[in-house]
């Protein structure tokens, strides 16, 4: 027989007051001239301790209050395909921040999966209402879903840059553009002049930003962009040889160690013959992660910052634009895969 939860009414009975009084003491709030004496207040607090009361978050929500629960909605289904390796670090940051803030995290794992992707359908969206607010993670498609989110005034924050809906989407992202620019500049300073970009050319934000940083850095040096769109490592290696590239920047969807092996099969060594810079953590598990030059996305920090922002939005704080659309700096990694080109031109 499941013992019924302790309610405010129970506490009130013990303290010899009304349920409303308990609620006022708990929320430490006195709207419209409600007064609670120190004595009564203490009696209620004692009763709470005695009964071991804690609020029913569901009822809190229904009555229009907050319940110290923030949700996390991941668009991409976490399985299969090692997606976890990608989202895990964000969650670590989220969890860390949640611990500091004393709130619980609700993972919306129940959303229907359509085409390997979770959907925020109309009824899926309704479930979000359990939490005070929600973090959104991953690539999404449906603009109308976002519009709906905005319309309902439900607090949410994207993890990852989102420029759309008239800039009304709050997010915490990573500054891919300048990180990529710095990566390319590093190659240019080493003397490279034929620098390729190896990766898919999607229209997603990270890809767009990486490409923009790459192109800008080259353009500033009076050089042209060279895309290496091939997927197969050996094809990439072949393209590098064919285009006479001395260096490539590598998008995370490409496995650097496979490229390394493919180059070696053609007698090319990294970084002796080809310098390689990683644009963020590769999606693959590496045998020797520390050796690669490039930058890392501060995922944990992003998760933590996003949760902090969300909690401010939930609290109803006015948040100005620099905080609503925050880009965090990526951390450059020295590594050992950048060297001057063999055929370096004289400066």
Q: What are phi and psi of 73, to 5 degrees?
A: -115, 125
CB atoms within 10 A of CB 327: 18
Please tell me whether residue 7 binds a second copy under the rule CB under 8 A: no
Please tell me whether residue 288 binds a second copy under the rule CB under 8 A: yes
Letters for 122-151 (x = contact with a second copy by CB under 8 A, - = none) are: xx-xxx-xx--------------------x
C-beta closer to DNA: residue 70 or 195: 70
Nearest 10 degrees: CA dihedral of 160, 162, 167, 172?
0
C-beta closer to DNA: residue 5 or 122: 5
Binding span for DNA by CB under 7 A among 33-41, 142-150, 154-162, 190-198? 33-41
User: Which one of DNA, a second copy, none interacts with residue 9, CB within 5 to 8 A by kind?
Assistant: DNA
* Cβ-count burial 150-177 (b if 16+ within 10 Å, e if not): eeeebbbbbbbbbeeeeeebbbbbbbbb
DSSP state of 286: P
Query: Which one among 18, 46, 99, 272 touches a second copy, defined by CB under 8 A?
Result: 99
Query: Which one among 59, 113, 342, 344 touches DNA, defined by CB under 7 A?
Result: 59
Contact present, 191 and 345 (Cβ < 8 Å)? yes
How far is 186 from 333, CA to CA, in rounded Å? Answer: 11
Token pair, residue 111, equals: 């959303």
Query: Which one among 11, 15, 23, 53 touches a second copy, defined by CB under 8 A?
Result: 53
How far is 163 from 83, CA to CA, in rounded Å? Answer: 24
Alpha helices in the chain (DSSP H): 8-15, 19-27, 38-51, 57-62, 83-101, 122-128, 143-152, 176-189, 205-220, 233-243, 256-265, 299-315, 321-324
Please tell me whether residue 110 binds a second copy under the rule CB under 8 A: yes
C-beta closer to a second copy: residue 75 or 154: 154
User: Which one of a second copy, DNA, none interacts with residue 288, CB within 5 to 8 A by kind?
Assistant: a second copy
Query: Which one among 13, 19, 75, 88 touches a second copy, defined by CB under 8 A?
Result: 88
C-beta closer to DNA: residue 23 or 301: 23
Count of residues that bind DNA according to CB under 7 A: 35
Q: Under the rule (CB under 7 A), what is the footprint of DNA?
A: 4-5, 7-9, 16-21, 23-24, 26-27, 29, 31-37, 39-41, 53, 55-56, 59-60, 62-65
């Amino acid at each position: 027989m499941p013992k019924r939860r302790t309610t405010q009414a129970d506490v009130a009975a013990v303290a010899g007051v009304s349920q409303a009084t308990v609620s006022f003491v708990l929320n430490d709030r006195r709207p419209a001239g409600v007064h609670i004496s120190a004595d009564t207040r203490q009696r209620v607090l004692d009763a709470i301790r005695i009964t071991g009361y804690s609020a029913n978050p569901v009822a809190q929500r229904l009555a229009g209050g907050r319940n110290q629960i923030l949700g996390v909605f991941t668009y991409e289904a976490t399985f299969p395909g090692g997606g976890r390796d990608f989202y895990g670090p964000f969650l670590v940051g989220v969890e860390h921040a949640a611990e500091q803030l004393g709130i619980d995290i609700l993972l919306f794992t129940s959303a229907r999966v359509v085409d390997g992707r979770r959907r925020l359908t109309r009824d899926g969206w309704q479930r979000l209402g359990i939490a005070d607010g929600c973090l959104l993670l991953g690539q999404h498609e449906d603009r109308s879903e976002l519009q709906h989110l905005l319309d309902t005034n439900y607090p949410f924050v994207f993890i990852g840059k989102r420029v759309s809906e008239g800039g009304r989407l709050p997010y915490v992202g990573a500054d891919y553009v300048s990180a990529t620019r710095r990566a390319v500049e590093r190659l240019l300073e080493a003397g490279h002049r034929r620098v390729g970009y190896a990766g898919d050319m999607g229209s997603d934000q990270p890809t767009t930003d990486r490409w923009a940083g790459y192109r800008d850095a080259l353009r500033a040096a009076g050089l042209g962009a060279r895309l290496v769109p091939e997927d197969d490592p050996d094809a990439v290696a072949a393209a590098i040889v064919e285009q006479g590239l001395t260096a490539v920047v590598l998008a995370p969807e490409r496995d650097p160690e496979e490229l390394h092996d493919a180059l070696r099969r053609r007698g090319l060594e990294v970084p002796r013959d080809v310098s390689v810079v990683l644009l963020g953590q590769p999606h693959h598990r590496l045998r020797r992660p520390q050796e690669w030059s490039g930058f890392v996305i501060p995922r944990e920090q992003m998760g933590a910052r996003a949760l902090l922002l969300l909690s401010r939005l939930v609290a109803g704080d006015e948040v100005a634009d620099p905080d609503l659309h925050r880009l965090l700096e990526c951390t450059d990694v020295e590594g050992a895969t950048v060297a001057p080109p063999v055929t370096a031109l004289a400066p």
